[in-house]
Amino acid sequence: MFGYRVPAPDEAMLISGGRRGLGGAPFRVVTGHGKFVLPVFRKTRFLSLAMSEAEVVEKCVTKQGIALTVRAVIAFKVGNDHESIVNAGQRFLSDQDQMSVLTGRIFAGHLRSIIGSMTVEEIVTERQKLATEVLDTSKAEMAKIGLHVDSLQIQSIDDGQTGYIEAMSRPHKAAIQRQAQIAQAQATQASTEAEQAAARKQAEYARETAVVQAEYNAEVDRAKAQADQAGPLALAHAQQEVLTAQTELALKQAELREKQLISEIVKPAQADAERIRVLALAEAERMKIQAEAAASYDRVALDRMLIDQLPQIVKEASAGLAGANVNVLNGADGLGEIAAGLVGQGLTILDSVRKNLGGEGGAEAGSTIERYVGAPRGSDDGPVDVR
């Protein structure tokens, strides 16, 4: 719109002509909004509120008389308040670049003054203190011209060819180097210890691995040896079992042979001995009867005595056979043969009695004996054929 002016966000619009500004200022200050300005009757100028920079390179002498070249950078701007804008506008509106030049000169003077009261050690080690003191001393002076300092940075301090700062730094450098060497030595020692620990662990692992491998190899060897011995051991066990079985068989054969020998030799001998004993008993009985008959001269009594004693004789013979341990090898035929032998022995005894007695009494006694011996089995008085 014609005659309407608006300042930029970082500018202050100064309108001169017409009424005076606040506080008797020769112009009115407009920031942040527009204003209708009558042409010809009003004049409008703009003052920058943006950040500006001033560089200071000043040769200063310290309290010790040592010359130092100090390089600093000042960041400043026109204050945002109405008073600062008016003060700056009256001084720098026609040539705003002069703000940096004037600011540099002001700070250069304050730097020389403050550095002259400090030692090199203080300046080098306490740069922030130096910057703070310079700002504090220049704040009031800068406010008078409408400027506000945001920061002051000491960029470098140089003693030229004197070497004072270098000499001052040598002990620190030596200490730092010593600490660096110590740190390096400690790092080297730690590295060596770590390597040694790693080597020990590796050796222990190798030893454990070797032990495990040896145990495994030993186990494999034992298993192989057992496997190799399994065949011979099994063969030996089999041979031992065969020998045991052969021994048992030999023992059984010996026992069988012993029983056969007992049956073939001992038992027949025992039976023969029993037969002889029975015959001897019978003969003794006959002689006894003869003696008794001869003593009594009673042939009839002798016949009857023979008749009476003959069952006893047969009974004794049977008892002898019953007490004898006789094995009958051919069953019923063998038993028949034994019985026939006994009857034959009885008849032999009877013939002997007949011959000794003689006459009718003997014949009568013999017939009586024949009737008793010859009675059939199963009958009370019939003959028995046992031959």
Distance (Å) of CA 186 to CA 173, 183, 200: 19, 5, 20
Q: What is the pLDDT of residue 174?
A: 83
Task: Compare 92 and 332 and report the one with higher pLDDT.
Answer: 92
**332: pLDDT strictly greater than 50:** no
pLDDT-derived band at 365 (thresholds 50, 70, 90) equals very low
Q: pLDDT tens digits, residue range 65-115?
A: 888 899 999 999 998 888 888 888 888 888 888 999 999 999 999 999 999
CATH topology for 51-162?
A: Tetrahydropterin Synthase; Chain A (3.30.479)
Name, in order, each residue with C-beta under 8 angstroms of 211's C-beta and a sequence gap of 6 or more: none
Domain range annotation of the chain: 4-47, 51-162, 256-373
Q: Mean pLDDT over all residues of the chain?
A: 78
Name, in order, each residue with C-beta under 8 angstroms of 368's C-beta and a sequence gap of 6 or more: 303, 306, 307
pLDDT-derived band at 377 (thresholds 50, 70, 90) equals very low
Structure tokens at 108: 């250069």
Reported pTM: 0.43
Residues 340/386, Cβ–Cβ less than 8 Å: yes
Q: pLDDT tens digits, residue range 134-193?
A: 998 888 889 999 999 988 988 888 888 888 888 887 887 888 888 888 999 999 999 999
Phi-psi region of 66 (alpha: psi -120 to 50; beta: other; left: phi over 0): beta
